[in-house]
Amino acid sequence: MRVQTNVQISIDAPIEQVFDCSIDCQNLPKFFTGYRGIPAIVSAITTDGLPLHEGSTRIVQNSDGSEIEEAIVSLQRPTLQAYKLLNGFKPPFSWLVRSASGQWLYQPHSTGTQITWQFEFEMQNAIAYIVFLALIKHPFQTSQSICLINLKQTIEHSNWRNHDDSPHFNPSK
């Protein structure tokens, strides 16, 4: 049993700039600030110390103390990043989710770039599926939307290459 989420945003910037900013591990804590029970990203690094590339492994540390290992399964500048979460979920998430993967699709848009972020969770069982739908899907999808809004604000309102602090949308958790 699978649960899918899908969010989109348009960003007024060239596709290459949007892609490069969004895959920079240093930026992930600025963008993915969590929401309610969904933890924020505290840090992200590749295990080889290189910039993100197809075949690399990214370690994401979250505000709940979890450390998620992600395999970058496809990275096609400037149109696609796809990854699979390998391990690191903490309970109660680990009780519900068997596996998870995500992909970001980038498309040129009349005024810049459109991003579609799809995420898919494979549930442990039918009970996990029901619990996930009832309690986690909406907050997770909201956290995805917040992430894309933060990315948009960073790119449109600051010089992200200098890693300036920028305003972030982060409603009450």
Q: What is the CATH number of the domain that holds 7?
A: 3.30.530.20
| Inter-residue contact 164 to 155 (CB < 8 Å) | no
Q: Which residues of the chain carry a pLDDT beneath 70? A: 159-173
Please indicate, yes or no, if residue 35 is contained in any of the structural domains.
Answer: no
pTM attached to this predicted model:
0.90
Can you give the pLDDT at residue 164? 39
Between CA 35 and CA 61, with CA 37 as vertex, the angle to 5 degrees is: 80
Please tell me the total count of domains within the chain: 1
Please indicate, yes or no, if residue 86 is contained in any of the structural domains.
Answer: yes
Can you give the pLDDT at residue 92? 85
Q: What b-and-e string marks burial along 76-93, b requiring 16 or more CB atoms within 10 Å of the CB? A: eebeebbbebeebbeeeb
Please indicate, yes or no, if residue 148 is contained in any of the structural domains.
Answer: yes
Please indicate, yes or no, if residue 142 is contained in any of the structural domains.
Answer: yes
Instruction: Report DSSP letters for 69-132, one per residue.
Output: EEEEEEEETTTEEEEEEEE-PPTTHHHHEEEEEEEEEEEEETTEEEEEEEEEEEESSHHHHHHI
Between CA 120 and CA 6 the distance in angstroms is 9
102 is in which domain, residue-wise?
Answer: 2-24+73-160
Between CA 10 and CA 157 the distance in angstroms is 14
Please indicate, yes or no, if residue 65 is contained in any of the structural domains.
Answer: no
Please indicate, yes or no, if residue 156 is contained in any of the structural domains.
Answer: yes
Chain segment 40-72, per-residue pLDDT in tens:
999 999 999 999 999 999 999 999 999 999 999
Can you give the pLDDT at residue 159? 61
| Inter-residue contact 15 to 108 (CB < 8 Å) | yes
Please indicate, yes or no, if residue 29 is contained in any of the structural domains.
Answer: no
Q: What would the two tokens of residue 33 be?
A: 């600030």
